[in-house]
Amino acid sequence: MGDDRRADLHTHTSCSDGVLTPADLVAQAAAAGLAAIAVTDHDTTSGVAEAVGAGAERGIDVVPGIEISTRTGNREIHLLGLFVDLNSEVLAEIGQRQRGWRRERAEVMVERAANLGLNIDLARVDAIAAGAPVGRPHLAQVLVDEGDVATTQEAFDRYLGIGKPCSVPKQMIATNDAIVAVHLAGGAAVVAHPGSSRVREKLLGELAAQGLDGVEVVHPRHPHRRQHLVRGLCQKLGLLPSGGSDYHGPGRGDSRLGEHTVSMDWHEGLRQRAERHQAAKG
């Protein structure tokens, strides 16, 4: 009989822009009946060790991961590194650099928001972030808490979204450089949510030629038709399929753990690919 256990290979904790601590995330994964979960916080692996410990107690395989914001041309592409080495110096360096860029960007956005008369300052944003890399969701939450907007979505729609008054372009590592970094960290490099990021076949083919390992087929923003199309591209381009909920915790988005999962066969395929990169390092 086949393995009918399920995995979620894209989740976030309070170490980036998620709500739950790593241990609480694993507890929810256990309640959802998952066999494996990847912790893929933005530009950091700081929450993985806690999640691994909680997973050992609950019998859940916690995949060490990271989500890196990257750029190819004028296109922002989110790259997941799965099964990475938590002690990787190259990932630590990238994370430090990207967090610095995030900080500089947040300072400018806060200044622009304050100039518009909004009730916001960097100290409040830092308090919301609670040590995590500062991002737009933290600014949005301050605007909600101060009564300037009713919801975080309204904050993005009116002030923080691309082209809005407080918007500031991201500085990001090149996608091909991030792929190399993930491989050096012994991980498999996977393009996240290509549907919502508008990563089409031509670009996926270019990234595959640069060493990309896989692409997310399953994602909350991928309806069945999109999943079918992306699955076909995986087969055509020789990429491994992946997927997950992109879960940020209760009240963040409309996905729940256990709703957007993949087979353990997909999990195993990515693990084996990561082992190849680990072996290539010597």
77 confidence band (pLDDT: 50, 70, 90): very high
Residue found under tokens 């300037």:
148
Spatial separation of the C-alpha atoms in residues 263 and 180, rounded to whole Å: 27
Residue range 250-267: mean pLDDT, rounded: 90
Beta bridge partners of 77: 70
- State pTM to two decimals: 0.90
Q: Are strands 262-263 and 6-11 parallel, antiparallel or unpaired?
A: antiparallel
| Cα–Cα distance for residue pair 48/65, rounded to 1 Å | 8
Residue range 84-103, pLDDT digits in tens? 999 999 999 999 999 899 89
48-58 and 22-31 helices cross at what angle (nearest 10)?
Answer: 30
Q: What is the CATH number of domain 6-95+186-280?
A: 3.20.20.140
Q: Which residue matches tokens 């590194």?
A: 81
Which pLDDT value is given to residue 22? 98
Averaged pLDDT score across all residues of the chain: 94
Q: What residue spans define the domains of the chain?
A: 6-95+186-280
In tens, the pLDDT along 181-237 reads 999 999 999 999 998 778 889 999 999 999 999 999 999 999 999 999 999 999 999
pLDDT tens digit sequence for 127-168: 988 887 788 989 999 999 999 999 999 999 999 998 999 999
Q: What mean pLDDT is predicted for residues 58-73?
A: 96
CA dihedral 195, 199, 204, 210 (to 10 degrees): -130
